[in-house]
Amino acid sequence: MIQEKIQKLKERNNFLLQELSKPDVASDSNKFRKIAREQSELSEILTVSDKLEKITSQVEDDLEIIHDNEDDELVIIAKDEIETLEVERNKLEEQLKLLLIPKDPNDSKNAIVEIRAGTGGDEAAIFAGDLYRMYSKYCEQNNYKVEIMNSNPSERGGFKEIIFNVIGADAFGKLKFESGVHRVQRVPDTETQGRVHTSAASVVILPEVEDVEVVIKSNELKVDVYRSSGPGGQSVNTTDSAVRITHIPTGMVVTCQDEKSQLKNKNKALKVLKARLFDLAQREQNDSIASQRKTMVAGGDRSAKIRTYNFPQGRVTDHRINLTLYKLDRIVFGEIDELIEKLQLADRTEKLEHSIS
């Protein structure tokens, strides 16, 4: 069955290579990029498949030597080689199975990140600010660009809400498992008796979508402009630059006031709205396809508590995969690669189990 799939992928790869050589494709940057990305993914699969075929052929040759040869020394060498090759073959087989799992087509997109303070008052807003800094540091380390879409700062520090765009290759694929409720346990600066408080903030990760993926009719929108509010800035309370867009069919409301230009605020608000509508459509589709199945990492209710940051003990626990790391000081400064990689591995492993069962 896998061999049939590999053969089809080889045929598809040859077709894509021919497409990439056509002048009309080369002149269309979007089409060329899309085809090149798919061809690159297929090339990775086929490279592993070729290695696996060569090792399998070597094992068969060694088995023939063992079966047909009376030279004990040659047989011993062949048996030793088979033992080494079998270890490598098992690794490649597992790698190939994982590569053959269908990828989320949204993984390669930019990500829109929404962070909101939850329970805990001022401390929750401060924690929301800490999460924003954590993701900003992570983006900086991975050469991702961060563009703030909208923010609502808290008077005591941090944010009641902040929305930003993460621009870079595979940004959504890296960050999508961060969606959910993040909880912090620590002694706030305002606490005089040294008691540990628990606060929370919610994180939502959405793929940025292109205009062709979500079409919004103008009569479906109600656009209001008003004077921006918040700390600092010459434009605050002086011009009607802030924008509030209401999507009438769903009741979704998006506001943006970070730019001095009303047009820029409107464009940013529309980008967030399209991402939310795209996410809503996908979740409804997934629910209709498999309403009873909830995957361990990717499919559960995004409102569920996913991670706890315990400052007194210096630990971070991800509750979905029962992973605890005692390096909170490094994690809150953006070193979340290990968390992301473990979550990606758990997701791929579970998908592999479902594809086999």
Query: Minimal CA–CA distance to 9: which of 46, 37, 36?
Result: 46
The reply to whether 292 falls in a domain is no
- Element holding 13 (H helix, E strand): helix 2-20
CA distances from 13 to 5, 46, 95, 240, 315 (A): 12, 9, 19, 53, 46
Band (pLDDT 50/70/90 cuts) for residue 302 is very low
Mark whether 187 and 231 lie in a shared domain: no
User: Taking the mean position of all CA atoms in its chain, how far away is CA 167?
Assistant: 12
pLDDT higher than threshold 70 for residue 294: no
Higher pLDDT, 108 or 166: 166
Measured at the CA of 288, the angle between CA 287 and CA 291, to 5 degrees, comes to 50
The pLDDT of residue 300: 34
The reply to whether 104 falls in a domain is no
- The first and second tokens of residue 36, run together, are 């090149």
Q: pTM to 2 decimals?
A: 0.71
Domain of residue 91: give its range.
2-99
140-144, 214-218, 290-294 — most confident range: 140-144
Q: Which of 40, 66, 99 is the last residue of a domain?
A: 99
The pLDDT of residue 293: 36
- The domain that holds 134 is classified in CATH as 3.30.70.1660
Q: Which of 232, 256, 287 is the last residue of a domain?
A: 287
Reduce the DSSP state of residue 205 to 3 states and report it.
strand
Question: Average pLDDT of 8-12?
Answer: 93
Q: What is the pLDDT of residues 149-169, one digit of tens each?
A: 989 999 889 999 999 999 998
Mark whether 223 and 237 lie in a shared domain: yes
How many folded domains does the chain comprise? Answer: 3
Mark whether 140 and 191 lie in a shared domain: yes
Core vs surface per residue 85-97: b (16+ CB within 10 A) or e: beeebeebeebbe
